[in-house]
Structure 1
Amino acid sequence: MFGHAEAGNDQDRNAAISSIRQPDIVEGKTFAVPLLPPVVGRIIGELYEENILAKIVRTATQAAAYLPGRFPESVPQDGPQAGRYNLREAEFWTCGFFPGILYSMLERAIRYPSSLTLEHGGRLPDENGKFECIRKELFGLSKKWAEPLYSMANRTDTHDIGFIIMPALRLDWELLENARSLEAIDRGARSLATRYVPSAKAIRSWDLLQKMDIKITSKDDNLLVIIDSLCNLDLLYYAAAQSADGKALYDIATEHATTILRTHLRPQARQCSIAENSYQGQWYSTCHIANLDPKDGSIKQQITGQGYADDSTWARGQAWAILGYAQTYMWTKEEKFLHAACGCAEYFMYRLETSPACVEVANSDGPKPTKGRYTPLWDFDAPVSDATNVINPLRDSSSGVIAANGLLLISQAMVALGRDALAARFSRAALDVVRDILDFALAPEKATLTYTPENGLEVADVEGGRFFEGILKYGTANNNANAKKRYANHTLVYGDYYLIEFGNRLLRMGIA
């Protein structure tokens, strides 16, 4: 039983909710609707089902006992803890995603209430009070889970401060006009800026790297930059846009993104794409880590920390590049970043299309006879067998939904440029990826919400004995053979976050 939200009284909550602003939220203040089919909501309708909301409310309520020290990170699919979230220390880079999930659902409840498909009553008009209880519950849980993030804005020991702060606190500011959240965003951006190395024109990602096969510990001689860092630049750009003295933050972000064009992108031959109207510019794969000389930014080595090999294409790294460069373009409007996003996106889609036949499995319940073609392998160059078992070859569903968010942003950029064919190409690709991931990786163990005015909200499993807290299965955090911690086949909290965020992007665009 969950009862009612605990953060503040009903009058305070109602006042905050009723005073929300209603702008369209898109990186770089650009809003353009790509060419998507009018039935898009039906294509990916599971994104808005009560099952997702029920699981989130249950985890948020039960795991709140471990705040502020621990946050949800992964849900194993097998072993003694199968189905239950593993909680990681608050310092871990993923801590901001579960609060972000809550705020994304709060955004739906406030801005798009009709998107919440409540299967057991409570749709507007709210006949029994269930919807209003849900909104209040989400409000209280969001506030509770965001609270530990404010002090993290001072951290200068990590480049992941964008991942930590932005998913929750950006929406807290934009939905509820909480100035404390905007101040934390500004502090976090300035903390991240302390990691910028002017001589190399790059932000230091990691202070050190220690695996079984490599050890890099000297910051004087090494500057470790990872492809993921592109998605933390959104924090710098956002803070710069909100600040009268934000030019330095903007310049740091743009110089870092420019450096990565040289240090992480590997040109690939453009192939005869299966899709019509594919991007005809340069295609790129990506490396995970570039170790630079701090004195001049020259490349000392290109290696992987989580992929199969130093010269392979780690799927999630490729996805970070697609989303990161799409976001950077939306802020800067510099075409070199849009070209990078398109080149990485086309290569990503090409590798999906040309993955071995064993990635496709029978799809007895879905609209298509097979599924799995667009649920990415964990690394596009890792060896695969001919087995058709759904967990072999190994996947990473999180990389697919991260990439899909980037594909939607690219499609918006193309509409603004009047390139409708490319806009349709990338928006269609985004839907294809998410549709396939829902078919292949959406956990079949469903949950539902029940409500009575006396007891509030309660979550129950749809089928007794079938319990799984995550939304997407088949994520792979790290399968590198020399990693100190190697684990796969689980929900990843950021995979669930970007899946829900994809649904919210469609709502903001008015097409879901």
Structure 2
Amino acid sequence: MKKRFNAIITAFILLASVAAQAQASTSKDWFRHAIITIQEQLTRAAATYTPGQNPRSVNPNGTVRLAPKTDWTTGFFPGSLWYGYELTGNKDLATAAQRFTLALDSIRYVTKTHDLGFMLYCSYGNAWRITKDKEYLPVLKEGAEHLFERFNPKTGVIRSWDFGPWKYPVIIDNMMNLEYLYWAGAQFNKQQYTNAANTHALTTMKNHYRKDYSSYHVVDYDPATGKVLSKGTHQGLTDESAWARGQAWGLYGYIMCYNNSANPQFLQQAQHIAQFIMTHPRMPKNKIPVWDFDVHNALDPDGRAPRDASAAAVIACGLLDLSTRVKDGKKYADYAEEILKNLSSDDFLAKPGENHFFILRHSVGAFLYNSEVDTPLDYADYYYLEALKKYAALNKIKLPLQ
């Protein structure tokens, strides 16, 4: 009787284990499906496009908009190939990533933009991180020097643009490029780079944010005195609205600054921004925001305003990082997981071979200028891949996925 009882218990445990494994497998099927799609799309894209003319988005007439070497988005496609290699283990993607990265060598001479982080750190930075091949370091070193040269001690911030009606414009997007300076400061023993990144983040926290922790897009400074001249937008709905990707840039930026500085002010700021985003009454149920949180009512009577998958992907990255830094991190991880599951659904994830080989659909570049509206975007793909990599690490999913 005892042997029979033990046999029953053993069988029960075995069945429970099999059931648990099946449930776990089912719960991660969306992740596996995403990886299969990613490998197919990136492989075809690498074979289709020419290094130095990288796919950026899709034009209204159905043709692909290409990013030349000096375009602010040009580093995202090589970076996506590097992430694709890490996620899949496909060595052909690593070879393509190297080819598309080295084609951007001349960006080391660019001085007229703050976007050197996007352009070089997303491409060459990932190349160095993965391969530790010293051939990538000279370009990274020179680019970091040019980025640092745009820092003005009087304003306490790095100048963003060299165009437009402003005297010294700084956009919230600039928070993302600080990661390049933090890395370069440590890699090349340049404490001034680290100091500039910290100062920029503190100044932005003071001048870009409203009481509810939503962010202005553009703050203009007097370069001689550091006085704030104006606060407004260039891509959001209005000067006082909450442009969705701008909120995402800030969230990602401040948790990244905390990771590099251990300054508790940055961690607290990231939590405040996350709270604004996660509790916003106009965040859709699927957690993929409309291009501006203030698009509603008469502006969007049918609830059909374009969603911005790029903002969602950046938010997911920020929340996953934040989840590892606080005691109540599970709420951030769960929210990010929901975003990723929805981005990996048929509503947003491209079918293999379609979408001009971009991975995600339905992003918004600059709605008010009718530029890149409801289209794939290279940076949506990049941050989606980055978020999947962070998700795998957090959930102990072994990569490359077999």
With structure 1 as the length reference, what TM-score do the two structures score?
0.69
Correspondence list, 1:51-450, <5 A: 51-64=37-50, 67-68=51-52, 70-76=53-59, 79-81=60-62, 85-109=64-88, 113=89, 134-135=90-91, 137-209=92-164, 215-216=165-166, 222-244=167-189, 246-268=190-212, 284-351=213-280, 354-355=281-282, 359=284, 373-383=286-296, 384-387=299-302, 392-414=304-326, 419=327, 422-439=328-345, 441-444=347-350, 446-447=351-352
Question: RMSD over aligned Cα, in angstroms?
Answer: 2.1
Task: Please report how far the alpha carbon of residue 49 of structure 1 lies from its aligned counterpart in structure 2 after TM superposition.
Answer: 2.9
- Alpha-carbon distance change, 89 to 468 in structure 1, aligned in 2, over 3 angstroms: closer
Tell me if structure 1 keeps the 8 A contact 2:343–2:349: no
Report the Cα distance in structure 1 between the residues aligned to 2:29 and 2:267, rounded to whole angstroms: 27
Cα-to-partner distance string for 1:341-373 (whole Å, 9 max, x where unaligned) = 11111101112xx227xx5xxxxxxxxxxxx53
Report the Cα distance in structure 1 between the residues aligned to 2:179 and 2:24, rounded to whole angstroms: 30
Higher relative CO (CA 8 A, sep ≥ 6), structure 1 or 2?
Answer: 1
Which structure shows the bigger proportion of residues in helix conformation?
2
Q: Letter of the 1:317 partner, please give it.
A: G
Report the Cα distance in structure 1 between the residues aligned to 2:379 and 2:255, rounded to whole angstroms: 18
SS at structure 1 position matched to 2:154: coil
1:489 pairs with one of 374, 391, 397: 374
Tell me if structure 2 keeps the 8 A contact 1:162–1:234: yes
Report the Cα distance in structure 1 between the residues aligned to 2:392 and 2:345, rounded to whole angstroms: 21
Task: Please report how far the alpha carbon of residue 440 of structure 1 lies from its aligned counterpart in structure 2 after TM superposition.
Answer: 6.3
Q: Letter of the 1:490 partner, please give it.
A: T
Q: Letter of the 1:381 partner, please give it.
A: D
Moved over 4 A (4+): 37-41
1:479 pairs with one of 354, 367, 392: 367
SS at structure 1 position matched to 2:373: strand
Report the Cα distance in structure 2 between the residues aligned to 1:40 and 1:164, rounded to whole angstroms: 38
SS at structure 2 position matched to 1:49: helix
Task: Please report how far the alpha carbon of residue 441 of structure 1 lies from its aligned counterpart in structure 2 after TM superposition.
Answer: 3.9
Q: Which residue of 1 aligns with 2:7?
A: none
Q: Letter of the 1:469 partner, please give it.
A: F
Q: Letter of the 2:308 partner, please give it.
A: D
Tell me if structure 1 keeps the 8 A contact 2:30–2:345: no
Q: Letter of the 1:51 partner, please give it.
A: T
Report the Cα distance in structure 1 between the residues aligned to 2:323 and 2:347, rounded to whole angstroms: 25
Report the Cα distance in structure 1 between the residues aligned to 2:355 and 2:204, rounded to whole angstroms: 42
Task: Please report how far the alpha carbon of residue 38 of structure 1 lies from its aligned counterpart in structure 2 after TM superposition.
Answer: 7.2
Tell me if structure 1 keeps the 8 A contact 2:31–2:344: no
Report the Cα distance in structure 1 between the residues aligned to 2:393 and 2:170, rounded to whole angstroms: 33
Gaps of 5+ in 1: 1-36, 114-133, 210-214, 217-221, 269-283, 360-371, 448-460
Tell me if structure 1 keeps the 8 A contact 2:54–2:66: yes
SS at structure 2 position matched to 1:153: helix
Cα-to-partner distance string for 1:410-451 (whole Å, 9 max, x where unaligned) = 11111xxxx1xx21111111112222233364245x22xxxx
How many residues of Structure 1 are paired with residues of Structure 2 in the alignment? 373
- Alpha-carbon distance change, 375 to 403 in structure 1, aligned in 2, over 3 angstroms: same
Q: Letter of the 1:305 partner, please give it.
A: H
Task: Please report how far the alpha carbon of residue 262 of structure 1 lies from its aligned counterpart in structure 2 after TM superposition.
Answer: 1.1
**1:501 matches 2:386:** yes
Task: Please report how far the alpha carbon of residue 43 of structure 1 lies from its aligned counterpart in structure 2 after TM superposition.
Answer: 6.5
- Alpha-carbon distance change, 349 to 54 in structure 1, aligned in 2, over 3 angstroms: same
Report the Cα distance in structure 2 between the residues aligned to 1:495 and 1:443, rounded to whole angstroms: 11
Gaps of 5+ in 2: 1-22, 398-402
SS at structure 1 position matched to 2:342: helix
Report the Cα distance in structure 2 between the residues aligned to 1:474 and 1:175, rounded to whole angstroms: 30
Task: Please report how far the alpha carbon of residue 94 of structure 1 lies from its aligned counterpart in structure 2 after TM superposition.
Answer: 0.2
With structure 2 as the length reference, what TM-score do the two structures score?
0.87
SS at structure 1 position matched to 2:111: coil
Tell me if structure 2 keeps the 8 A contact 1:99–1:142: yes
Cα-to-partner distance string for 1:280-319 (whole Å, 9 max, x where unaligned) = xxxx100100011112322111111111000000000000
